[in-house]
Amino acid sequence: MPVSAVRILVVDDFAAWRQSVRSMLQSYAELQIIGETGDGEAAVRQAAEMRPDLILLDVSLPRLNGIEAAKQIQKLLPTTAILFLSMNHHQEVVRTALNSGAHGYVLKADAQNELRPAIEAVLQGKKFVSSGVRLDKGEGR
């Protein structure tokens, strides 16, 4: 990890979950949550203004879903890492999310154990997919 703090934007429409994420990450001094929001349109705006290093993004968001928000953010900020953090474990959704420019996908159910390793992986330019996600090797692209 770099010596400077990793600046994180948390995007989820459930405020209690955003607080849970904050709690999971608070013991890591190098991880700094610089903002949070509950909808996709605001996520794109805040990303453009704040220029975070990492965005933790839910798939299901009001006004603009997370996958569309990720596409827009990647166009604006191609060096910002995007890590989906979602309850949705359907293969097609996961695959679409990863094809939107995201670097990883963590199931909320696995976040307690996998969020930190996922963050480390995506910040190193690696892909990360939650152990609870089943992606068939022979399917898709």
pLDDT the model gives residue 1: 43
Bridge-based pairing of strands 104-107 and 54-57 is unpaired
Domain at 22, CATH number: 3.40.50.2300
The overall average pLDDT reported for the chain is 92
Asked if residue 122 belongs to a domain, the reply is no
Number of independent structural domains in the chain: 1
pLDDT band at 4 (very low <50, low <70, confident <90, very high): confident
Q: Using an 8 Å Cβ cutoff, are 139 and 91 in contact?
A: yes
Domain for residue 44, yes or no? yes
In a domain, 114, yes or no: no
User: DSSP letters of 14-28?
Assistant: -HHHHHHHHHHHTT-
Q: Give the rounded percent of residues in the chain with a pLDDT score beyond 90.
A: 87
Domain assignment of residue 1, yes or no: yes
Within-domain flag for 136: no
**pLDDT, tens digit, for every residue of 87-141?**
999 999 999 999 998 999 999 999 999 999 999 999 999 999 999 887 776 443 3
Residue at 4 is within a domain: yes
Domain coverage including residue 91: 1-29+40-76+84-100
